[in-house]
């Protein structure tokens, strides 16, 4: 079993006070010290999963690990992933700037995305992002202009839609044919001709695909490799150029509930490596450098969210709603993707789970529900609710809906806790507001 198959951070335990503890830190004490809602990240789990990825792929000599920054990106997380030997899969100027501002070289990183602005492309070129995954024809022209203006040559991969569907939520399928991402395979030859004939400041070195997120299958990775290697063989034969890189994206699922059974990192590594060996030979090409982009599977399990229980409502002959001090603005995934979570009560984790309740958020939307119909100990005002596996796409997708402040995030390790994102205050909230003179 690898850590992405765990329901909780690997350091989770019940301490002598009868409280939940992660990273040697009492969660009730963390809630008291830092307030709630609160994101808590276990450094040991992050580093363990990162090492598991490197070990799983160690049999393949040319492997490059990129952390998918969209899952959760702060300067502290960037430092951790850099120290574990990872580069970064970046999808915005903000993510590029975060890594750069942490004092980390961008040479091992890749800039990805379907509608990069010219300013973002300029930033990527100026700051030395190692490779750029080009998504469309307009971007080819924009990037060439940005590189030409700086007298640089930029290494690029073409992002393609491989025509593979994974069995996941509709909104997080990114590899099927009807997708906003990438070149259709029928457009690749035209793109390559433009690069070779017109865009002299671009150097095509490989192809890139991403087949989805929260993937529980393994054969799909084998198939993705075959599609990309076949495409490389076609390009090499037609244009007499050698492409040495394939980027397979990420997407490995994690365990949100006891019913979830994601494959291990080792299982997908075996599928990918065997597919590269077999299909490189089948299509008569050299085995390429492989890029993998894990995000959720590194930080998802590593992070939990703490909430303080407030009011409750028993609907006559219906549900019992228990409200907490956060909700859809700090964790929009249940509303967006119908995501399902597991929770415990941090101050009484050993009490019998004898009451079925629905955990409601504090926001002015009927759909602001964090967990439906979960069995928990009877909840009282002031209890601390711990929701597991919220480390990915919580803070990164959060908002100030209802003008509610964004939570803080802390990193725990060896009984020490450190703030990695400050809690917003009301001055932060209004700092970008402006009142026109005519309204004063």
84: left (phi over 0), alpha (psi -120 to 50) or beta: alpha
Residue with tokens 């909780």: 8
Q: What are the C-alpha distances in Å from 223 to residues 164, 165, 186, 286?
A: 8, 11, 18, 18
- Radius of gyration of the chain measured on its C-alpha atoms: 23
Report the alpha-carbon distance of residue 255 to residue 341 in Å, rounded: 9
Report the alpha-carbon distance of residue 381 to residue 424 in Å, rounded: 24
| 203-236 b/e (C-beta count within 10 Å ≥ 16 → b) | ebbbbbbbbbbbbbbbebbbbbbbbbbbbbbebb
Active site annotation includes 166:
no
Of the candidates 313, 189, 181, the residue with the CA atom closest to the CA atom of residue 247: 181
Contact 6, 301 (CB under 8 A): yes
Sequence-distant (6+) residues with CB within 8 A of 168 are 212, 213, 214, 215, 216, 253
The residues that bridge with 39 in the sheet, in sequence order, are 305, 409
Side-chain half-sphere exposure of 78, counting CA atoms within 13 A: 24
288 CB neighbour count, 10 Å cutoff: 22
372 CB neighbour count, 10 Å cutoff: 15
The phi, psi pair for 9, rounded to 5°, reads -55, 145
The residues that bridge with 213 in the sheet, in sequence order, are none
Token pair for 290: 């492989």
Helix (H, G, I), strand (E, B) or coil at 432: coil
Which residue out of 166, 261, 364, 386 is catalytically annotated?
Answer: 364
Token pair for 118: 């010219």
32 CB neighbour count, 10 Å cutoff: 12
Which residues are known to be catalytic? 364
């Amino acid at each position: 079993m690898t850590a992405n198959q765990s329901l909780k951070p690997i350091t989770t335990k019940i301490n002598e006070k009868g409280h939940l503890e992660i990273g040697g830190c009492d969660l009730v004490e963390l809630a008291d010290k830092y307030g709630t809602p609160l994101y808590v990240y276990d450094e040991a789990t992050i580093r363990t999963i990162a090492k598991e990825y490197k070990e799983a792929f160690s049999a393949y000599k040319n492997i490059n690990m990129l952390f998918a920054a969209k899952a959760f990106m702060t300067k502290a997380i960037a430092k951790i992933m850099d120290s574990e030997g990872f580069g970064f899969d970046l999808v915005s100027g903000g993510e590029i700037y975060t890594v750069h501002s942490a004092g980390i070289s961008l040479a091992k990183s890749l800039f990805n995305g379907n509608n990069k602005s010219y300013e973002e492309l300029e930033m990527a070129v100026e700051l030395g992002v190692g490779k750029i995954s080009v998504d469309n024809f307009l971007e080819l022209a924009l990037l060439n202009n940005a590189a030409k203006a700086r007298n640089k040559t930029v290494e690029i991969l073409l992002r393609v839609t491989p025509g593979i569907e994974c069995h996941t939520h509709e909104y997080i399928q990114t590899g099927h044919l009807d997708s906003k991402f990438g070149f259709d395979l029928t457009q690749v030859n035209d793109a390559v001709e433009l690069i070779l004939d017109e865009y002299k400041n671009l150097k095509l070195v490989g192809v890139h695909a991403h087949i989805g997120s929260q993937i529980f299958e393994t054969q799909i990775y084998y198939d993705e490799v075959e599609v990309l290697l076949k495409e490389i063989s076609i390009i090499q034969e037609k244009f007499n150029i050698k492409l040495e890189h394939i980027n397979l994206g990420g997407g490995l699922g994690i365990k949100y509930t006891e019913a979830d059974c994601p494959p291990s990192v080792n299982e997908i590594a075996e599928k990918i490596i065997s597919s590269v060996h077999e299909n490189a030979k089948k299509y008569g090409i050299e085995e390429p450098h492989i890029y993998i982009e894990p995000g959720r599977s590194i930080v998802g399990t590593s992070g939990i969210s703490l909430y303080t229980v407030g009011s409750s409502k028993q609907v006559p002959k219906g549900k019992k709603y228990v409200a907490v001090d956060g909700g859809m603005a700090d964790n929009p995934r249940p509303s967006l993707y119908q995501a399902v979570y597991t929770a415990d009560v941090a101050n009484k984790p050993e009490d019998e789970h004898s009451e079925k309740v629905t955990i409601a958020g504090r926001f002015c939307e009927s759909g602001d529900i964090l967990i439906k119909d979960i069995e928990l100990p009877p909840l009282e005002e002031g209890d601390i609710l711990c929701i597991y596996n919220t480390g990915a796409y919580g803070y990164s997708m959060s908002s100030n809906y209802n003008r509610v402040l964004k939570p803080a995030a802390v990193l725990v390790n060896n009984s020490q806790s450190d703030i990695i994102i400050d809690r917003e205050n009301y001055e932060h909230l209004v700092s970008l507001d402006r009142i026109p003179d005519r309204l004063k």
